[in-house]
Structure 1
Amino acid sequence: MKRFFPGLMMAAFLAVSGANAADEIAFVDLQEVFKRFYKTELAQDQIRQQADDIKMEREEIEAEVKVMKEEIEVLRSDSRDSTLSAEVRQNKRDQLEEKLVDLQKKEKDMADFEKLRMQQMEQQNTRMTKKLFDEIHEAIIGLAKAEGYDAVVDRSAQSRIGTDTVLYSVPRLDITAQVLAVLNEGREKTQVDQPQFEVEKKEGE
């Protein structure tokens, strides 16, 4: 009869239990999931559309500013034209002062507008990103419960100094592809329905 020494039996037990415990932990590349989740692309399209709208609106204001500057230059020139009467030159100077005040206000409005719209876009992006990660999180939890995993670790996480938190993981324990399959399962239907994230409107719209 074979005899087992206590130390060897304990080592064998730890090896077996350790292997089982390792199989209960899965790994996922959260950044890859976020990037390849089809709703991420839809959200990014909306953000790009907002950025294009902001650019177009800014260009319209810049065109108005350009016209005002051209008018100011004409008034400045006329106010110094010695061929005109003193009364006319004074009238031109008065108009010039008014235009300069209007220009200053328009330029301030343009700066305030751009700042506000950029803040709105950043807030929109933050909300949409959180909503996407919440949905991804729910999918990971559902898959982990269905597959019997005790924990799922994000292998794309990094430390404060920029190094990978997870230095190595067995490929067979990586469930990134499975998570993406769950998230992208309804892609065709969603593309037809085109549910959109709520987009903030500008003031006055």
Structure 2
Amino acid sequence: MTLIRRFFTLVFAASLATMAVAQDGKLNIATVDMQELFKQYYRTNEAQKQINVERARIQKDNNERLARIRELEETLGKLRKQLEDPALNDSKKQTLFKEWQMQQQEGIALDRERREFLQRRNQALNEKMVQRMKGILEEIRKLVEEKAKVDNYDYVFDKSGLSTSQVPFLLYTKDATDITAGLLKDLNKDAPADSLPVEGDPKPEIPAPATETPAGE
């Protein structure tokens, strides 16, 4: 379970320790699907589009670096063939060998720089993504809290939350009201038409903490 998912599980479950019964002796309970709200919120879709653009830019830079490295590999191959020529005199062979060494060292340095570039840029992007998504999740959480106060719910449980053993946190609730659809309508009421998620497009999950996941190696 991710740190963010755990955060929301605790938010919706922490009040169990101080459970208060409504005046009529019954608890007023609601459920919400945080994953669905997160996936279908237009600001999540906008953030994902921006992240995809930045990932494409990183990949483009990586491809340009790879192209230079492949050029060096081709040059090294040609030099190696020349060095294998038995008719080559010692003086020429030494000159070619020094050039081959220089090209090889340049290739090693460029590839090391490329890998470091990928790790640095991807890690920075992942951290940026997690912070952006955490901000969006906080917006959703506040809306859920406001809804709970207005409609006088004692508890609101995230039915998409998983326990540490990856079992759904909420297995059963009696007479609980699902407020997901209404909240989603409120979240997207001011959404630009081109920012709404399109059916069939891959939907982002609530993200895990940033990790080093270089792409394109």
TM-score normalised by structure 1 residue count = 0.77
Matching residue within 19, 24, 30 for 1:26? 30
In structure 2, distance between residues paired with 1:130 and 1:84: 65
In structure 1, distance between residues paired with 2:149 and 2:126: 35
Counterpart in the other structure of 1:11 = none
Counterpart in the other structure of 1:17 = 24
Does structure 1 residue 116 correspond to structure 2 residue 120? yes
CA shift for structure 1 position 190: 9.2
In structure 1, distance between residues paired with 2:137 and 2:112: 38
What's the CA shift string for 1:121-162, capped at 9, x where partnerless?
211121111011011011112222222223321121122222
After TM superposition, what 4+ stretches of structure 1 lie above 4 angstroms from structure 2?
A: none
**Distance verdict in 2 for CA 1:121–1:101, change over 3 Å:** same
What's the CA shift string for 1:42-62, capped at 9, x where partnerless?
111122222222222211111
Does structure 1 residue 48 correspond to structure 2 residue 55? no
Query: Which blocks of at least 5 consecutive residues in structure 2 are unaligned?
Result: 1-20, 196-217
Number of paired residues? 175
8 Å contact 2:30–2:156 — kept in the other structure? Answer: yes
**Distance verdict in 2 for CA 1:171–1:55, change over 3 Å:** farther
Q: Relative contact order (C-alpha < 8 Å, sep 6+): which is higher? A: 2
CA shift for structure 1 position 172: 6.0
Matching residue within 179, 184, 200 for 2:183? 179
**Letter aligned with residue 91 of structure 1:** T
In structure 2, distance between residues paired with 1:151 and 1:171: 12
Matching residue within 126, 137, 143 for 1:139? 143
Secondary structure of the residue that 1:123 maps to in structure 2? helix
Does structure 1 residue 154 correspond to structure 2 residue 158? yes
**Letter aligned with residue 114 of structure 1:** L
Counterpart in the other structure of 2:93 = 89
**Distance verdict in 2 for CA 1:189–1:59, change over 3 Å:** closer
8 Å contact 2:27–2:154 — kept in the other structure? Answer: no
TM-score normalised by structure 2 residue count = 0.73
Larger radius of gyration, structure 1 or 2? 1
8 Å contact 1:26–1:149 — kept in the other structure? Answer: yes
